[in-house]
Amino acid sequence: MDFTEKIIYTNGAGKTPIDAYRLQIDLGPNDERVPYISVEILTGNLRTNLLAIDTFTLKVDEGAMNYYSDDRKGTTLGVLTYNAQINGDHCFTTNGSVSPKVVFGGQTRFLTIYLENGEGVKQLLADITPFSILIKATYPRVNSIEEAYRTQVPLPSRV
């Protein structure tokens, strides 16, 4: 099966938050009817003046098909760990750690991201100065989905 990969870059600059903790990311349009979309963090970094925190967990509100967490709060996309101190701020990066590939429904276009500290408490976006995230979204090309599977997908011509 062939796949289409889309690279999405986002940062906090100029985005209007949903509330004090969450921000919405647009994965871009997908005009094809795909059964799923796989999402993973390629790299991410942020800066904060919160000096007592040593790790942040990047999560989304949306539930993934292949993910389970005993806290039952969102889906973890990755972990950012302390990397360096610059001008009094602590910098956090993914440090090349492997990000899980989480699978969402094929018509997922937006993800609602938020950060938790190491104790599982949501972090205020105002405490995070600049941040940037590079995401890879992968989905199957519709014409390459095997015929046996395609007959199970309710296409408009079969409705």
Q: Which of 1, 3, 24, 2 is nearest to 12 (CA)?
A: 24
The domain segmentation of the chain, as residue ranges, is: 3-141
Tens of pLDDT, residue by residue, the chain (159 residues): 788 899 999 887 777 889 999 999 998 887 778 889 999 999 999 888 877 788 889 999 999 999 998 888 889 999 988 888 888 788 888 877 678 899 999 888 999 999 998 888 999 888 887 789 999 999 988 776 666 566 666 666 655
Predicted confidence at residue 153, as pLDDT, reads 64
Predicted confidence at residue 60, as pLDDT, reads 94
Predicted confidence at residue 85, as pLDDT, reads 83
Predicted confidence at residue 146, as pLDDT, reads 66
pTM of the model: 0.81
- CATH assignment of 3-141? 2.60.120
Torsion 72-76-79-80 (CA) sign = negative
